[in-house]
Amino acid sequence: MWNCLWKSGASILHGHAQIACTRGLHYAKIEHLRRAALQYREQYGVNFFDDLFAAHAAVGLALEARGVRLLASLTPIKEKEVWLIGSAVDNTLADALYRVLDCYAHHLGVHSFNVVLYVPPLAPAPEDWSGFPVIARVVDRGPLQNKTSDFGAMELYASSVVASDPFKLMTYLRPAFTS
């Protein structure tokens, strides 16, 4: 996890990231995603992440380059959410993440953001993780000069409030990701 600057919730203002490992059960949101993907596979016989990508591609919000899939989320948790879906934590995924962050900074004016990397268990686990890819998620946390919060009771108790347009976001990501 990376909270970049104070608008992202960073408690330390210099560049840093955290690694968090769990034992026995993944964090709740990741476990929820794993279970939803497993249930989807059991119900429809196909991989959830493949269909998620296909749905985004069908409306022009996804692309694939060098084995990494990118999608501008149709259901973002915060502004300008991007998902990168890969098969491993490797240089290809790192390059894709760099391209997204470079696009954020140099084309979209984003300087405060959150990044998370979801990785299946590093050791054998009793639950089924088959078909669960490595996922990087990135969101914009708003202009640094804004003194208001971008996160409030609505996000805590009801639903995300998002004002950015994923189709506009994709016009910037496409050339940055495929060049």
Q: What is the rounded CA–CA span in Å between residue 118 and residue 83?
A: 11
pLDDT for 75-107, tens place per residue? 998 889 999 999 999 999 999 999 999 999 999
Nearest to 74 by CA among 172, 174, 170: 170
What digits encode the pLDDT tens for the residues 166-177? Answer: 999 999 999 998
In this prediction, residue 68 has a pLDDT band, given cuts at 50, 70 and 90, of very high
Type and span of the H or E element at 58: helix 48-58
In 15-107, beta strands by DSSP E: 62-65, 68-72, 82-86
pLDDT in tens, 2-34: 776 665 666 666 666 777 777 777 788 899 999
- For the chain, the residue count is 179
Matching residue, tokens 């953001």? 113
**Mean pLDDT for all residues in the chain:** 87
